[in-house]
């Protein structure tokens, strides 16, 4: 059985691809909402329990996992590091599925790359007074100190824990947009105009995360974009397509 750590749209698509090739999959998701999005299949089992240093090894042993595919979000470094260390201890092959970064053309003065949420918050506060944050509901504390002096708007997925995190970070309901993406360029254009945003903060979540349409809309309106770069991790094995994942599994007789 193959273990897939996922919860994202591309992880669900990867699972469908592998099921079509007759692999048996145990897919791990982090929310009830993510579980509801999964299409049942006779060769698919679901784990919706949190993974930590105790539960992950137990699950891998219980289901006799022959390979671990890490298809989590590019910024979910905690679970990736846990998976790498656990697989090394249990001598289970680990492979990372990495979605492509957003293609960025050279010489784009509106794009500002940073390495942390704190850097993003500081730079955004210097670039403008109305900041539209599209980095999710985590790490909002980095932006809290700018709430009294700037107009901060936030777009998050419409889940209770995300909304609670935003409210606890000091965002008022009138400054929170709770919607599920991916959002088109036109939708982002309308949103930026409605908010009179003059700075956008995002992560490089790739095409599937809508980073390209956020940037395209900002460029049309000449709005600077602060992009938090993906955290560097040393993956033992990494592939960038579903077919490469399947080839790796088949060549190593993993099922």
Tell me how far apart the alpha carbons of residues 155 and 153 are, in angstroms, rounded to a whole number: 7
* Chain-centroid distance, C-alpha 196: 26
Global pTM reads 0.81
DSSP per-residue codes, 129-191: SEEEE-S-STTTHHHHTTTTTSEEEEEE-S-HHHHHHHHHTT--GGGEEE------HHHHHHH
Residue 106's pLDDT is what? 47
What average pLDDT does this structure show over 71-93? 92
Name the token pair of 238. Answer: 């990494």
Q: Is the pLDDT of residue 208 over 90?
A: no
**103 vs 59, more confident:** 59
């Amino acid at each position: 059985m193959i273990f897939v750590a996922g919860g994202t749209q591309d992880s669900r698509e990867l699972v469908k691809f592998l099921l079509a090739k007759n692999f048996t999959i145990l897919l791990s998701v982090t929310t009830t909402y993510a579980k509801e999005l999964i299409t049942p299949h006779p060769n698919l089992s679901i784990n919706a329990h949190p993974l930590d240093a105790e539960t992950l090894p137990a699950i891998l042993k219980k289901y006799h996992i022959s390979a671990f595919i890490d298809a989590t979000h590019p910024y979910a470094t905690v679970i990736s590091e846990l998976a790498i260390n656990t697989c090394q201890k249990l001598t289970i092959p680990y492979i990372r599925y990495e979605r492509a970064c957003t293609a960025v053309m050279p010489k784009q003065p509106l794009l500002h790359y940073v390495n942390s949420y704190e850097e993003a918050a500081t730079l955004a506060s210097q670039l403008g007074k109305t900041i539209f944050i599209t980095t999710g509901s985590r790490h909002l504390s980095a932006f809290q100190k700018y709430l009294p002096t700037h107009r901060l708007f936030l777009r998050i997925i419409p889940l209770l824990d995300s909304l609670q995190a935003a409210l606890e970070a000091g965002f008022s309901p009138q400054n929170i947009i709770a919607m599920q993406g991916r959002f088109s360029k036109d939708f982002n254009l309308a949103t930026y105009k409605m908010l009179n945003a003059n700075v956008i903060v995002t992560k490089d979540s790739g095409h599937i995360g809508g980073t390209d349409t956020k940037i395209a809309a900002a460029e049309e309106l000449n709005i600077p974009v602060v992009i938090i770069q993906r955290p560097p991790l040393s993956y033992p094995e990494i592939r960038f397509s579903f077919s490469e994942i399947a080839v790796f599994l088949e060549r190593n007789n993993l099922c």
